[in-house]
Amino acid sequence: MSVELLKEQLEQVIHSGDPLQIRDLLDSQNISDVADLVYEMPDYESQIITAMSVHRAAGVFKILEFPTQQTIIQTLPPTKTAELLNELPPDDRTDFLEELPSSAVRELIKLLDNEERKITLSLLGYPENSVGRLMTPDYVYVYENNTVQQVLETIRRVGKNSETIDVIYVINNKGELLDDIRIREFILATPDKKVIDLMDNRVVALNAYDDQEVANEAFKMNNRVALPVVSNSNKLLGIVTIDDILWVASEEFSEDIQKIGGTAALDQPYLEMPLFQLFKKRIGWLVVLFLGEMLTATAMAYFEDEIARATVLALFIPLIISSGGNSGSQASTLIIQAMAVGEISLRDWWRVMRREILSGLLLGSVLGIIGFFRIFVWNSINPNLYGVHWMLVGITVGFALLGVVLWGTLCGSMLPMVLKRLGADPAVSSAPFVATLVDVTGLIIYFSVAFFTLSGKLL
């Protein structure tokens, strides 16, 4: 059903005033459709959540954007807020609470049941962006001496409240993780077979203090729907599921794209962020880049005499620096993306440099030839445009383009890796930052080539 049609039906049943009719309509829809409905009808967002069964309401609430979640919680009655928070999976509840001010968190935690409060406080105790913040304690575990029959009975007893039953975890009497076994192995085995006979001891586990990006990489490399989370002493603490990792990957991707564009990562959707907050996110990088571009003016002032003697050189300054900046931005974006998805690591720096040297030479040669050909054509049309030394000017521009593009590709490819080596986020070597750096150095390359080729002629 389309959102528009659902919206019309909901308006009709709301006017009827029958709460059961409203609940039946909303509970019969996909949660993604109801979430779209919440965005379409902001005046009714709290009423929509209140009208639904608590289980369905929790399913809708956890996929909403944080600003919408915050608005709903602020307008819900305390009893409904308590029901909703207690129904939310622990990892989704933690993800919501960690975005709130500490004073609000303290008040909302009071609404939780004792067991849920204990779980939430435990998850909030882990560092921000750690795997511990993502994990849920709702999973099925068995012991190595259990039979398959006992395992199936355990699944029937506790599986309903588990995040997933695709994978069953094996622990010993100390609570240490021994293995993880897919449920199909138990289904296909005979009832009297022991768990230990099904174990292959090839378990892949995450540490609760690992960064969430580590979890993202582990899921990608091991093709799992869930991974166990252990303590430093290998005690099984919880599990992380693929849906949580997809959210993390989406957020990381958005942050990297924003940083590549030359702004700080936004904490909220663009249209939800207050204008002054958006200003603060953007002004810092703009000031840094502006100060960097001031060095371009300094470099031009240094070559003021050369420009005065050969004003024709000034005509090609925008061409030279933009070509270098563009090549650097290309290389930077490609390397950051490749590092983000694990295609390259710091160990590959020499392979990357060799490829970019060759790429820079090829790209620079093509642009250099085009630049020389452009001067040749314009001089043929107007022989007085570049003077009698037009060929030397063309050679200067051609070789300068080769040098600047080569330098731009090297800067753009190596800077993200250098920042990664220093422990910084490679995404901060954004395309505008690389372009600014290459602008300044590109002028030095250009006028150095000009001094070499035109000395004794125009200079």
Last-in-domain residue among 70, 95, 125: 125
Question: Does one domain contain both 121 and 229?
Answer: no
406: pLDDT strictly greater than 90: yes
- Residues with Cβ within 8 Å of 222's Cβ and at least 6 positions away in sequence, in order, are 204
Residues 6 or more apart whose CB falls under 8 angstroms from that of 175 comprise 235, 236
Rounded Cα distance between 320 and 308, Å, is 18
Please count the other Cβ atoms lying within 10 Å of the Cβ belonging to residue 222: 10
CA atoms within 13 A on the CB side of 255: 14
Q: Scan for tokens 């029901």, then name that residue.
A: 83
> Do 102 and 148 belong to one domain?
no
Of all residues in the chain, the percent with pLDDT exceeding 90 is 11
Last residue of some domain: 93, 125, 157? 125
The β-bridge partners of 179 are 170
Q: What is the pLDDT of residues 94-137, one digit of tens each?
A: 888 888 887 788 788 888 888 888 888 788 888 888 888 888 88
Tokens matching residue 375: 């001067």
Say yes or no: 21 and 56 in one domain: yes
Q: Is residue 308 domain-shared with residue 450, that is, in the same domain? A: yes
Do 326 and 439 share a domain, yes or no?
A: yes
Question: Higher confidence at residue 239 or residue 163?
Answer: 239
* 115 and 153 inside one domain: no
Neighbours of 380 (CB within 10 A): 10
Domain identity same for 160 and 293: no
- The reply to whether 312 and 434 lie within a common domain is yes
Q: Label residue 156 exposed, middle or buried (CB < 10 Å: 0-12, 13-18, 19+).
A: exposed
Residues 433 and 284 grouped into a single domain: yes
In 3D space, the residue among 96, 168, 85, 177 whose CA is nearest the CA of residue 134 turns out to be: 96
Share of the chain above pLDDT 70, in %: 88
Instruction: Show the tokens assigned to 139.
Output: 């999973």
More confident residue, 283 or 241: 241
Tokens for 413? 């490819």
Mark whether 427 and 307 lie in a shared domain: yes
The number of helices, as runs of H, and strands, as runs of E, in the chain is 21, 6
Establish if 253 belongs to a structural domain: no
**Range(s) of the domain holding residue 429:** 270-454
Does residue 216 register a pLDDT over 70?
yes
User: Do 235 and 275 sit in the same domain of this protein?
Assistant: no
Whether 366 shows a pLDDT value over 90: the answer reads yes
Domains in the chain: how many in total? 3
DSSP letters for 273-309: S-HHHHHHHHHHHHHHHHHHHHHHHHHHHHTHHHHHH
Is 258 contained in some domain?
no
For the chain, report the end-to-end CA distance as a whole number of angstroms.
74
197 shares a domain with 93: no
In the predicted model, what is the mean pLDDT of the chain?
82
Q: Which residues pair with 130 in a beta bridge?
A: 211
Q: Is the pTM of this model over 0.95?
A: no
CATH of the domain at 223: 3.10.580.10
Q: Identify the residue whose tokens are 């639904």.
A: 52
